[in-house]
């Protein structure tokens, strides 16, 4: 008979150990995300996949914030983050540090997520746009590649927290499978 694992059996690391462990070479850049709940979800996804950090830009809520704390359930304490007044400043800084900048947006030059192959040993910054407006038009020229999640229904968008989980899982598995 199947049973759920206890918290002890999950062998979770402490926030202190998490901060010191090797991270996966992905940074999430939140471009004017208006919902603190979505920001908290991004923290939780970053924790789950041991991402390097989050860059919170523009109007994006910053910890401590009630809605972030509600969905992050502690991940805002373990995951590194940095605030930038503008997404452009964050991306220029990341580019100077050698990151390839990927946007998640529907554009005339988007690459379908399943066909994108990250390079081994490269660091990636993934830009996630505002819930209504998407990635800012001023940010598009700074993207090295724009990724799009294929969709087959009547809607042409996903909630930013869902899209974050999908793109992080996809990049994580492609990067990990190539390095194992």
In angstroms, rounded to a whole number, what is the distance separating the alpha carbons of residues 51 and 43? 9
Whole-model pTM? 0.95
What value does the mean pLDDT take over residues 149-155? 94
Residue 46's φ and ψ, nearest 5 degrees, are -60, -40
**Which tokens is 62 given?**
């910053």
Domain 22-148+157-179 part of CATH 3.40.1280.10: yes
Distance of CA 45 to the CA centre of its chain: 7
Q: How far apart are CA 110 and CA 106, in angstroms?
A: 6
CB atoms < 10 A from the CB of 32, how many? 21
Summary mean pLDDT of the chain: 95
DSSP string covering 63-110: SS-HHHHHHHTTHHHHSEEEEESSHHHHHHHHHHTTEEEEEE---TT-
Sequence spans of domains, the chain: 22-148+157-179
pLDDT in tens, 41-100: 999 999 999 999 999 999 999 999 999 999 999 999 999 999 999 999 999 999 999 999
**Residue 121 per-residue DSSP state:** T
């Amino acid at each position: 008979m199947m049973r759920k694992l206890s918290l002890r059996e999950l062998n979770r690391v402490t926030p202190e150990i998490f901060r010191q462990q090797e991270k996966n070479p992905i940074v999430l850049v939140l471009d004017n995300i208006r919902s603190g709940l979505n920001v908290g979800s991004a923290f939780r996804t970053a924790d789950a996949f041991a991402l390097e950090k989050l860059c919170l830009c523009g109007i994006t809520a910053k910890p401590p914030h009630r809605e972030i704390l509600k969905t992050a359930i502690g991940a805002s304490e373990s995951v590194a983050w940095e605030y930038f007044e503008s997404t452009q400043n964050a991306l220029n800084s990341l580019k100077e540090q050698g990151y390839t900048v990927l946007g998640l947006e529907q554009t005339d030059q988007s690459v379908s997520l399943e066909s994108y192959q990250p390079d081994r040993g490269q660091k990636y910054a993934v830009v996630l746009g505002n819930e209504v407006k998407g990635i800012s038009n001023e940010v598009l020229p700074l993207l090295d590649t724009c990724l799009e999640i294929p969709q087959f229904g009547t809607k042409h968008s996903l909630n930013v927290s869902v899209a974050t989980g999908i793109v992080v899982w996809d990049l994580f598995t492609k990067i990990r499978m190539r390095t194992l």
